Amino acid sequence: MNPKVSILMSIYNENESEVFKSINSLVAQTYPNIEIIIIVDNPLGKERYAEMLGPYEDNNKIIVSYNERNIGLARSMNAAFDLSTGDYIARMDADDISLHDRIEKQVTIIKEQQADLVCTGYKFIDEMGREIEGEYIFYPPADLKKSLLTTNSIHHPTILMTKEIFIKSGGYRDFPYSQDYDLWLRLLDVDCKFYMIDEVLLLYRVRADSTTNRKRFEQACTNFYISNLLYQRLTTDADDYSKENYAAFIRECSAKYSTYKKDIVSIQKMQKRIGHGVLVTIITRIRLLISSDFVRDTYFLKLKIKSEARKFYDADGQRRKRSARG
C-alpha cells in the first residue's frame, strides 16, 4: 500500500496557463496515491479561478477551497494542511512544474533514509518556460542542517515531509516573507532528519523583478527577526514570537537601519556594472560589511548562532542530549 501524499498549493494571482501546467504536472505524477489541496487566496478573483478550475471538478484527487479574504501564504498553507488526509505533506507553487516522477522518488527516499523531510534540486525557468541561468547547491544531510543555521538552503516548493513532523513543528507562522525558513529552523528544534536529493525534480519559475526596495528591506528584516528567534531558542529553549513583536521589530529596523534601503540600490547598480559571479559577491560583501550597520549586525548574529549551535549539534549534525551540551 502506497502512503497518501497531500500536495499543498496556494493560488493568488497566477495566470491560467501557469496554473494548468502546474496542476497537470501533479496529476501526471507516476506516484498513484496523491491528493492536491488548492487554496485560492484571492477573493476578488474567485469567479475567474472557479471557472479556470472547472475542468478539475470531477477529479476526486483535487480539493479546492476559496478564502473569504486574503490571508497570505502561511495561513493558506495551514488551512490546506487542515483539509489534508495524507501521511506525507508536499509543497507546490501554482506557477512551478514538478517532473513526473518527483513524488515517487521523494517517497522512496524518505522511506529508505528514514527521513522526516526530503527536498530536491531544481532548475530556473522564465515566464515563457525557458530555462535560465542558475544552479541549486547540493548539501549532504549533516551539511544541510549546518547550512540552515545561517541561510535558507532548502527550496520550499521541492519539499515532502511527514505529517507527524509538520504537526510537531506547529506549522507555518504568520510571516509575509520567509515562512519556510522559519519552519525549517523550528524543525531543527524537533530533531527533524533532513535529506536532499541531488537531482532536478522541479522547474522553478522566476518572474521579471518587480519587487520594490521597501519590500526587499522588509524581507531582509524578516530574515533578521527569524534569525533572532533562532538565537533565542538556542540560548533559552524558547522564543518570544508574536505578530505584535514581529511588527515592532520591523518598525525598529526601519528606524535603525534607514540607510540600508539606499544600500540595496547601490548593490543593484554595482551588480549590473560588474555582472553576477564570485567577484561581485566578494566585492558586495566587503563593501556592505564596511558601510552597512544592518549587514554587520546580521553577520555578527550569524557568528553567534554558529557558536551557540556547536553546543547543540555534533560534527554529523545530530542534536546533542541536554546533559552533553556543557
What is the per-residue pLDDT across 39-59, written as a single tens digit (0 to 9) for each? 999 999 999 999 999 999 889
Intervals of CATH 3.90.550.10 along the chain: 5-205
Statement: residue 280 has pLDDT above 70: no
Which pLDDT does position 264 carry in this prediction? 62
Taken in order 141, 78, 59, 157, the sign of the CA dihedral is negative
Q: What are the helix (H) ranges across the chain?
A: 16-27, 46-52, 72-83, 102-112, 141-148, 163-169, 179-189, 213-236, 243-256, 260-274, 278-291, 293-309
CATH number of 5-205: 3.90.550.10
Closest-CA residue to 84 (of 166, 151, 148, 20): 166
| Residue carrying the nine cell digits 522588509 | 218
Cell of 169: 513543528
Q: Are 8 and 92 in contact (CB under 8 A)?
A: yes
Q: Are 64 and 53 in contact (CB under 8 A)?
A: yes
CB atoms within 10 A of CB 181: 21
Q: Are 27 and 35 in contact (CB under 8 A)?
A: no
Q: How far apart are CA 92 and CA 24, in angstroms?
A: 12
Reduced to 3 states (helix: H, G, I; strand: E, B; else coil), residue 3 is coil
Which pLDDT does position 274 carry in this prediction? 47
**pLDDT tens, residue by residue, 220-258:** 899 999 999 999 999 998 999 999 999 999 999 988 887
